[in-house]
């Protein structure tokens, strides 16, 4: 059973009105995805310029676009494999940009611990996505994971706005790496079960075969 801290998708009652407005404005899912990346890069730049609170707000707003592009694609009938790949790749760039900004900010403040934690969080977040992508490349459906993108975005925004950077980075690094290993464990079990050779039942020897002398 997949345990999640946040729902995989926001409630339709919240998303549907926003999507209708975007459709009326002629916004495309690709443009929305690109805008999310631009917003996260802007948020990272604000963090580097020692404005973590403003940067955190921008990161949350930009990342919210990630919850809309898929719904917009479905509403307009434009969902495609290109869109799915484009969205996933830009999401990874967005996370890396924000955590890079946090690492830079931490180094500027002489805090090597937080900079190293930001690096660990980058590795964890990328590996969470990589394990899923690799599993799906082997024809496995892998959506399990306790700390996926939605949880990471909320935690990053919260720690930037509240100022609990050190605590937030520890949680982010630990939970991201844990989720990567959680997915690896689940995927490994599924692959081992699928690849296990079926033990063929050998035919029982006949009486004549038993009586045959060894050669």
The terminus-to-terminus CA distance of the chain in angstroms comes to 56
Which range of residues forms the domain containing residue 186?
12-192
Residue 172 domain-assigned? yes
How many domains, the chain?
1
Q: Is residue 82 part of a domain?
A: yes
Residue 207 located in a structural domain: no
Domain assignment of residue 200, yes or no: no
Long-range contacts of 25-29 (CB under 8 A, 24+ apart): 27/72, 28/72, 28/76, 28/78, 29/69, 29/70, 29/72, 29/73, 29/76, 29/78, 29/79, 29/83, 29/87
Q: By the 8 A CB rule, do 131 and 184 touch?
A: yes
The answer to whether residue 3 is domain-embedded is no
Per-residue pLDDT reduced to its tens digit, 28-54? 999 999 999 999 999 999 999 999 999
Task: Specify the CATH number for the domain of residue 74.
Answer: 1.20.120.1760
Q: Quote the pTM value.
A: 0.84
In a domain, 214, yes or no: no
Is 133 within a domain? yes
Structure confidence at residue 53 (pLDDT): 97
Any idea which of 55-64, 94-103, 137-146 has the lowest mean pLDDT?
137-146
* 142 in a structural domain: yes
């Amino acid at each position: 059973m997949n345990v999640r801290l946040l729902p995989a998708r926001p409630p339709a009652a919240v998303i549907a009105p926003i999507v209708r407005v975007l459709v009326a404005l002629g916004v495309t899912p690709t443009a929305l995805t690109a805008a999310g990346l631009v917003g996260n890069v802007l948020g990272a730049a604000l963090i580097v310029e020692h404005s973590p609170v403003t940067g955190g707000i921008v990161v949350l707003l930009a990342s919210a676009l990630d919850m809309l592009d898929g719904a917009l694609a479905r509403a307009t009938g434009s969902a495609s494999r290109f869109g799915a790949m484009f969205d996933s790749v830009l999401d990874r760039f967005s996370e890396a940009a924000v955590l890079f900004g946090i690492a830079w900010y931490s180094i500027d403040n002489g805090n090597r611990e937080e900079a190293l934690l930001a690096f660990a969080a980058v590795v964890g977040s990328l590996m969470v996505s990589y394990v899923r992508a690799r599993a799906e490349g082997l024809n496995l459906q892998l959506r399990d994971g306790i700390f996926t993108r939605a949880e990471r975005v909320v935690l990053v925004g919260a720690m930037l706005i509240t100022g609990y950077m050190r605590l937030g980075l520890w949680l982010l690094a630990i939970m991201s790496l844990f989720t990567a290993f959680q997915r690896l464990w689940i995927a490994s079990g599924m692959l081992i079960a699928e690849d296990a050779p079926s033990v063929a039942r050998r035919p029982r020897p006949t009486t004549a075969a038993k009586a045959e002398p060894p050669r």
